[in-house]
Structure 1
Amino acid sequence: MSFNFATAGRIAFGDGTSEQLLEEVKAFGDRAFVITGNHTDADESPLATLKELPGLEIWRTTGEPSVEGVRAATAAAREANPDVIVALGGGSVIDTAKSVGILLRNDGDLMDYLEVVGRGQKLAARTVPVVALPTTSGTGAEVTANAPIYSPEHKLKASLRSPAMIPAVAIVDPNLTLSCPPAVTASSGLDALTQCIEPFTSGQANAFTDILSQEGLRRTATGLRAAYADGSNRAAREDMAFASLLGGLSLANAKLGAAHGIAAPVGGLTGAPHGNVCAAVLAQCCETNIKAMKERDPENPAIARYDTVGQLLTGNPEATAEDGTAWIRETVAMLGVGGLASLGLTEARLDAATKGAMNASSMKGNPIVLTYEEVHAILTASL
């Protein structure tokens, strides 16, 4: 047994942990640059606790990170010269904060370092420390080492990536997700599900990530439908906050797979929410992977792992991989997430989406190398 594992410098999980925010921030200094969404009230907890800081600045962002959005936030942060960056929001807010933190400590422009569409230069492993507080349960961005950023010029999402981008502190308070609306609960929760399945079936999985991703699947099985049905269900919200954290820990150390490989170009082409794209293709990706492995790599251990996925999601120890994909399809329908066509993908763009997916970094974690025809078929079947 041999593996490396990287995560946040500290993780605080549980109801009320966001009350620690001021203490955590002051450990780094008095100059805090807060990145949050437009609907976050600065007069309410936890941001209200930071008002005593003499160097507090608040930057508001909307939508998923974009090249210009990250550039603007970075320029504002340079003016503020913070000791620490606070990210309060969903995965997009946290990814923006991680990007700003590391760009403040690296010379040059974002495009010097962005993968695929940029120059892809290696970032120096230094950053302004980030304290991340997720308000949705899905991306696990509070413990991951990259940030997907949309380039309108290329109509593609590409990653900024460095081990130094993992936040210094992750504060995961399920109470912060109680107001999350059903549509966002569905989208983010299905992303969390994907981020537990793909690291578990990845060719880079290890004994440690296996423990995390399996528990994440158990928590998603009990929490996802319940949190969608009743957002005030604290037990369900806790399950999903934990599942999201576990998925982030798993993917940061065992990689992802075809669903995320597809989500990057489709999101870039359509602007559809990342979690919705993952949800639309997840079951078909699982089925295609299993079929491809049985035909070309019958000794691949991931074949049996898909049976385990089925058992964990259904709670039936006799369940099969097929039972698992059926559970996924049923859940996606129950949560009201449509196919790729409803998200804006047209048949005319299938070739571009397929080619983009084949080149996506997430594909490197897939348990088997899929062909162009197989990826194209996943997209077609998921319309």
Structure 2
Amino acid sequence: MSLSSFSFPTAILFGAGARKEVAAHLREQGVKRPLIVTDKALAALPVLAEFRSHLAGLDAAVYGGVFGNPTASQVMEGAAAFRAHGADAVIGFGGGAALDVAKVVGVAATHEGDILEYAWDHPKVRPITHELPYFVALPTTAGTGSEVGRSAVVSENDTHLKRIVFSAKLLAKRVFADPELTTGLPSAITAATGMDALTHNIESYLSPAYHPLCDGIALEGTRIAARALPTAVREPANLAARGDMLMASMMGAIAFQKDLGAVHSCAHALGAVCDMHHGLANALMIDTVLAWNQQAVPQKFDELAHVCQVPGGGANFIAWLEQLKREIGITGTLSSHGVKAQQIPRLVEIAVADICHQTNPRPCTAQDFERLFHEAMQ
């Protein structure tokens, strides 16, 4: 038996009203001037103003320049805002993009060079050597689970290729997971982010990497998301369903330290080439890729079908996924969502270079990716 290392993430305060405890926690840590990092849409909405009303005793500033698939320039602008405010902490407030930027604003504010020089695959990757500003995270979507992750996905400004800054130092000191912050999400965003959470749980469970702790979390996360996602889409104010999806999202992100698979390699390529929403990209690829994976690990599909209460077992799991997508309003193919056939060679190139498929249940070649993209176009 080989040696294996296991690690789990940060402290989490979970439940309705958790956001109201942020100020007291930060004051206990000696924080006085936090910078709130959020996206452009949230910065203009009442939900952020309401959150700021609970930050009594703190001189908080806002950097609201995050949008789309976050880029290195957004991180560097956030770092400049941190220094201009004389900030002593970072509050990440938003979905996966805002939280990923928030994680590394402190790195860029306290270290030299561009943030992409700290990406794990940079040819001369810089180490994170200095102590980082105190960081807490408040998710407003239930999808990426970025609030509990130790990595940040940042795109190159010109090519839009996604790079990953990875370090345990990026972990939030405390996560305030408040389902009330997610009740204002439009149904389409609830559906897309929810499919992201479900994909994380499913792909991490299917990964051949050895991590029984994550397997248990992934199966339970899949069960919770399968039950709660249709209700969260149909009944936006249903706090029980919103809380379940927020938990499933965090569970997926905890589980995928075991690694992911080819669905995510395809989704990352679609984000880079087509600027497609990550959750939607996963949703449009998952049934195609999993149908190809099923023959490699049929017993795992039986387990997934069991926790999702799919009649007929693993043989019907893909059909169940397709029905779930229809129920939450995600329909169509890659082509109906704007992907062009002439983009497939570039999509294949990026998917092959992506690290996620290295732990897919079946090895993926360029020819495999080409066929999967063509199938998903139809």
Give the TM-score of the pair, scaled to structure 2. Answer: 0.92
Mapping of residues 1-383 of structure 1, within 5 Å: 2-8=4-10, 10-28=11-29, 29-37=31-39, 38-41=43-46, 44-54=49-59, 56-61=60-65, 62-114=67-119, 118-119=122-123, 121-124=125-128, 126-251=131-256, 253-291=257-295, 293=296, 302-316=297-311, 319-320=313-314, 322-337=315-330, 338-383=332-377
Deviation at 1:43, TM superposition (A): 6.9
Task: Indicate how the Cα distance of structure 1 residues 202 and 357 shifts in structure 2: closer, same or farther if over 3 A, else same.
Answer: same
**Alpha carbons 2:70, 2:101 under 8 Å: kept:** yes
Deviation at 1:176, TM superposition (A): 0.9
Deviation at 1:143, TM superposition (A): 0.7
Task: Indicate how the Cα distance of structure 1 residues 127 and 30 shifts in structure 2: closer, same or farther if over 3 A, else same.
Answer: same
Write out per-residue CA displacement over residues 274-314 of structure 1, whole angstroms, 9 at most, x where no aligned residue: 000000001111111224x3xxxxxxxx4311221122223
Write out per-residue CA displacement over residues 168-189 of structure 1, whole angstroms, 9 at most, x where no aligned residue: 1111111111111101101100
**Alpha carbons 2:116, 2:165 under 8 Å: kept:** no
Counterpart of 1:369 in structure 2: which amino acid? P
**Alpha carbons 2:95, 2:139 under 8 Å: kept:** yes
Give the TM-score of the pair, scaled to structure 1. Answer: 0.90
Instruction: Determine the C-alpha separation between the residues in 2 that align with 1:47 and 1:221.
Output: 33
Please list every run of 5 or more consecutive structure 1 residues that lacks an aligned counterpart in the other structure. Answer: 294-301
Instruction: Determine the C-alpha separation between the residues in 1 that align with 2:288 and 2:38.
Output: 35
**Alpha carbons 1:310, 1:325 under 8 Å: kept:** no
Larger CA deviation: 367-376 vs 137-146 = 367-376
Deviation at 1:167, TM superposition (A): 1.2
Deviation at 1:109, TM superposition (A): 1.2
Deviation at 1:236, TM superposition (A): 1.2
Counterpart of 1:60 in structure 2: which amino acid? G
Instruction: Determine the C-alpha separation between the residues in 1 that align with 2:195 and 2:187.
Output: 12
Instruction: Determine the C-alpha separation between the residues in 2 that align with 1:100 and 1:119.
Output: 22
Instruction: Determine the C-alpha separation between the residues in 1 that align with 2:189 and 2:207.
Output: 27
Write out per-residue CA displacement over residues 156-205 of structure 1, whole angstroms, 9 at most, x where no aligned residue: 22222222112111111111111111011011000000010011111224
Larger CA deviation: 325-334 vs 256-265 = 325-334
SS in 2 for 1:85: strand
Deviation at 1:137, TM superposition (A): 0.5
Counterpart of 1:218 in structure 2: which amino acid? R
Deviation at 1:115, TM superposition (A): 5.1
Please list every run of 5 or more consecutive structure 2 residues that lacks an aligned counterpart in the other structure. Answer: none
**Alpha carbons 1:226, 1:236 under 8 Å: kept:** yes
Deviation at 1:345, TM superposition (A): 1.8
Write out per-residue CA displacement over residues 19-68 of structure 1, whole angstroms, 9 at most, x where no aligned residue: 111112223311201112333437743221224313x2111133331121
Instruction: Determine the C-alpha separation between the residues in 1 that align with 2:280 and 2:134.
Output: 31
